[in-house]
Amino acid sequence: MAWAVSLLLGALPILLQELTGSVPDAYTWISSGALLLLVGLSFAIQPLKPLRLFFVLSVVLLVGMDLIDVVMATSLWQQWFGRGPWVRGMLGAQLWRLAIALVTLAALFAAGLRRRDFFLVKGDLDAPAGAVKVIGIEGTARWNTLGRNFTLMISSGTLVFLLLGFRPSAAALARLLPLLPMVLLLAAMNAFFEELVYRAAMIGALRPAVGAPQALWITAVLFGLGHFYGVPYGVVGVLMSTFLGWFLGKSMLETGGFFWAWFIHLLQDILIFSVLAMVM
């Protein structure tokens, strides 16, 4: 059931868009209705009870991200954020995402979870890292070293992808410099939103129900699918983002905190937002 809901959120819109050319307007409300039905059934069907919070968080994410298009179309939003450089419009989008994050936090606290239950603490930055030899993580690795090394590797890959994909000019770099403070703020806001809503909250809700390994992979796949039309984009973007989602979720589970996931994500967003600010 947890996998079915995550694929409903992540894969179905992509399939509809690619096969039919559009996602029906009713998709969000039909999907939200189905999730709310599951919330109701979780009070009557005992095996669904452990997934109740996950269903609620999925509704918050689905409806919140759909309503952003409605909000952005209003005259007030257009007046405040719709004119000017890219960073101005992105600020409006990030403020809406902050509202979604606050509703998510309210749902987590209402369910009786503490900040530590959904990793909203610094955690042990030098905790032991679980071995994954296929990608070079040995059994003696610790997160202070692993976090630093993977930050450099992932950031290098992101930078190469962006430079090859967008090819920004020297003149574009000059346009970026006065916008850099806003780029840093927007990157910090976006990294906080995505790490809280897509990862920390979801893993915190799923781990008691399906266990840490399944919770990690469900959230990683959901995060990856969410980047099919993002940056990076397409199948390559999904694969890169799924790996990143898995790695950041692994950092949360093993350090018990938010820092490494947010920091690594922040650096990727700084690179991405910098390029977007140059070319848009």
Separation between Cα atoms, residue 5 and residue 202, nearest integer Å: 12
Residues ≥6 apart with Cβ < 8 Å to 130: 137, 250, 254
Instruction: Pick the closest to residue 247 from 2, 255, 237, 236 (CA basis).
Output: 255
pLDDT number for residue 38: 95
Q: What is the DSSP letter of 196?
A: I
Q: Report mean pLDDT in 10-residue bins for the chain, 280 residues.
A: 89 91 88 94 95 96 88 87 82 93 97 96 95 88 94 90 83 85 94 95 96 96 88 82 93 97 94 88
Output the CA–CA distances (angstroms, integers) from residue 26 to 21, 22, 61, 70, 87, in the order listed.
15, 11, 16, 14, 31
263 vs 155: CA distance, rounded Å: 11
Residue the block writes with tokens 């071995």: 131
Q: Where are the domains of the chain?
A: 2-279
pLDDT score of 163: 86
**How would you class 114 by CB atoms within 10 Å of its CB: exposed for 0-12, middle for 13-18, buried for 19 or more?**
exposed
Name the token pair of 9.
């959120």
Cα-based angle 148, 150, 153 (whole degrees, multiple of 5): 115
**pLDDT value, residue 232:** 66
- Distance between start and end Cα atoms, the chain: 40
Do 150 and 138 touch, CB atoms closer than 8 A? no
Q: H helices of 42-128, where?
A: 52-72, 75-81, 86-110
Handedness of CA 189, 192, 193, 195 (dihedral sign): positive
- pTM here is 0.91
- What is the rounded CA–CA span in Å between residue 269 and residue 17? 26
| Tokens 């840093």 -> residue | 184
